[in-house]
Amino acid sequence: MTRIIALSGSLRSGSWNTRLARALAERAPGDCEVEVVTPAGIPLYDGDLESKEGIPSAVEALKDRIASADGLVLVTPEYNQGVPGVMKNTIDWLSRPPADISRVFGGRPVALCGATPGGAGTRSAQHALLPTLRALGAQVWPGKTLYLSRAAKVFDDQGAVIDEDIDKGLVDFIEGFHRFAAGE
């Protein structure tokens, strides 16, 4: 069984990115389990907080989940053509302390995707994550891109995917990344 963590970079209850993460999880092949997580409970990074209280328990728990998984999907929203602070803050906490970076990110297969209600599909945010992932030593999946635009036309109110072409694209994406994460 291959285990993949899908981290949505949004805290919003109606988040398109969390819906996208769930849609990928639902389409994972039988020998692949995708666990959807969000940054809920993770505070703003503060070096004083880290010095006084150490790594927050929500961060430690997420670090352990990623470290024990075969792959990580970052499902990022896009704000002002960049990575939303909530997503970057989460990655920054996950990189603490530096001695743990290789356990969490080193050689870790990472796929990038994201959703927007407009036309951009998070292309800029995904590209902006690349230097960070390189700095952390992750292995970015070069297989497929997933820039999901016009999200309101893709999902219904229950989060089901109503666009057949997108449905097939999501299956291809998670099947392809599953093979990469499994080392095939």
- The residues that touch ligand FNR, with contacts defined as CB under 6 A, are 10, 12, 15-17, 77-81, 116-118, 120
Q: How far is the CB of 74 from ligand FNR (least distance, A)?
A: 12
State which residue, 23 or 181, has the beta carbon closest to ligand FNR: 23
**Positive or negative torsion for Cα 134, 136, 142, 144:** negative
**93 vs 147 by CB, closer to ligand FNR:** 147
Closest contact distance (angstroms) between CB of 21 and ligand FNR is 9
Question: Letter for the amino acid at 32?
Answer: C
d(CA 22, CA 37): 9
From the CB of 164, what's the least distance to ligand FNR, in Å?
A: 22
* Structure-derived torsion over alpha carbons of residues 117, 162, 113, 71, reported in degrees to the nearest 10: 150
Handedness of CA 172, 109, 122, 6 (dihedral sign): positive
Least distance between ligand FNR and beta carbon 115 (Å)? 6
CB nearer to ligand FNR: pick between 68 and 81: 81
Among candidate residues 102, 93, 91, 96, the one with its CA nearest the CA of residue 131: 91
Nearer to ligand FNR, 106 or 118 (CB): 118
Residue 168, CA distances (Å) to 27, 133, 156 in order: 9, 27, 16
Contact 91, 132 (CB under 8 A): yes
Task: Work out how close the CB of 97 gets to ligand FNR at its nearest, in angstroms, rounded to a whole number.
Answer: 29
Choice between 107 and 119, CB closer to ligand FNR: 119
Query: Cβ closer to ligand FNR: 3 or 123?
Result: 123
Least Å distance, CB 181 to ligand FNR, is: 23
Distances from the Cα of 140 to the Cαs of 52, 86, 110, 129, 169, in angstroms?
A: 34, 21, 5, 10, 19
